[in-house]
Amino acid sequence: MQANALIREYIEERREQKMRLIDVCTAMTDDKGQARAELFGPDELHMNPSGYKLWTTLITPQLHAVLDASDMAQAK
């Protein structure tokens, strides 16, 4: 979580570069900050299909927002 805060600060300081932070960490941890076991395989390192599905639901809208903004800019 500390890494996300530092990355968010870095991005905020460089708004003109149009970077975004997609925070998947918060959704992948429980209220104690521990990884949600149901999102990982038996090795507890690599995600299982549920983990990738979660990533897809978090990342896809952000990608669409960037693409839509790009389309709008090109239309001008």
**Model pLDDT for residues 10-60, shown as the tens digit of each residue:** 988 887 777 888 999 999 999 999 999 999 999 999 999 999 999 999 999
Backbone angles phi, psi at 22, to 5 degrees: -105, 105
Q: Give the pLDDT of residue 75.
A: 63
Q: Give the pLDDT of residue 73.
A: 67
- Count the neighbouring beta carbons within 10 Å of the beta carbon of residue 33: 9
What total of structural domains would you count in the chain?
1
Query: Mapping DSSP to helix (H, G, I), strand (E, B) and coil, where does residue 13 land?
Result: coil
Q: Give the pLDDT of residue 2.
A: 85
Token pair, residue 33, equals: 């900050």
Q: For residue 35, give the nearest of 2, 73, 1, 9 by alpha carbon.
A: 1
pLDDT digits (tens, 9 = 90+) for 58-69: 999 999 988 887
Residues 6+ apart with CB under 8 A from 14: none
Residue 69's domain comprises: 2-75
